[in-house]
Every structure is written in C-alpha cells, then in structure tokens.
Amino acid sequence: MNRSVALIVLITGIVLLSAGLHSSHSAVSQLSQTFNGHPTHETSLLISVGIAAIAFSCWSLLKSNGRL
C-alpha cells in the first residue's frame, strides 16, 4: 500500500475513534448503556472501525519501511 494512502487511513482511523469515544459520552449512548449495559451500535461501530483502521495503517507503514 502506498504510504500516502496509509497515512490517510491512519488519520481517518483516528477521526473515527475520536468520534466514537465522543459519541460514547452522548445522552443517547449513556441511556442505552444504563438500560442495556452497552453503548449504541453506532458508537461501537465507530470505535471498532477506528481501531481497525489505525492497526491496519500502522502495519502498512511498518511494512513499507521494511521493518516487518
């Protein structure tokens, strides 16, 4: 994967993770967590996809540098 694409995916992952963490403190997510024991599906999806994008881009950047 091209380094610039990996950097874009990294930035996107950071934004998604940040949005998911911010969303987990919203009133709707807090209400869902109170009654269901877990945050909303959208919050979980944002956090999961953000972590996956960050992990994938870090792996890709390390691979392109020849460290893997």
Q: Which residues contact 25 (CB under 8 A, 6 or more apart)?
A: none
CA distance 15 to 33: 23
The pTM assigned to this predicted structure is 0.82
- pLDDT tens, N- to C-terminus, the chain (68 residues): 688 999 999 999 999 999 999 988 888 888 887 888 887 889 999 999 999 999 999 999 998 877 66
How confident is the model at residue 68, as a pLDDT? 62
Where do the structural domains in the chain lie, given as residue ranges? 3-64
Handedness of CA 1, 66, 59, 12 (dihedral sign): negative
The 3-state DSSP class for residue 57 equals: helix
